[in-house]
Amino acid sequence: MSDLPPDRRRRIGWRWPSAIIIVVAALLTCGAIYYHRTITPPDCTDPRTLALVHTSLTDHFKLPDTTRLEGIRTVAGSYLAFRYVCDAQLTGFDRKALPPGTTVPGAVRYVSHLTDGGQRHEVTVRIAPLMIMEQVW
């Protein structure tokens, strides 16, 4: 047994484990904040992400500049994510006024991620075509 009195042993017994737990929690919190600031890409509603999505929609998919995203929803991603997967509805254009051969978009799914070791922000955009029901005789 220990030479310390019983009440002294009890006081020492909870201090060290408590201090260790607090230090570990603080280090994990600082690590998570650093990771979020350096590795996690901008989320679904970030203006930088939305600007890249809009550029892709107008340049690659040939949609008009009036195209807007509504009902943006995060499908995958969180505070410590490597990427964000997002869904949205496209509005702000007349489907009959689209250039010939353009896919009539119904929804858009885009992925926000960082490349080049976290130095460059990229967005991959995919359009789900609008299913138009037509009666065939």
> How confident is the model over 9-54, as pLDDT tens digits?
556 667 778 888 889 999 998 888 887 777 777 778 888 888 888 8
pTM for the whole thing? Answer: 0.64
C-beta of residue 94 within 8 angstroms of C-beta of residue 130: no
Q: 103-123 pLDDT, tens per residue?
A: 677 788 888 877 776 677 788
* Residues with Cβ within 8 Å of residue 123, at least 6 apart in sequence: 49, 52, 53, 56, 110, 111, 112, 113
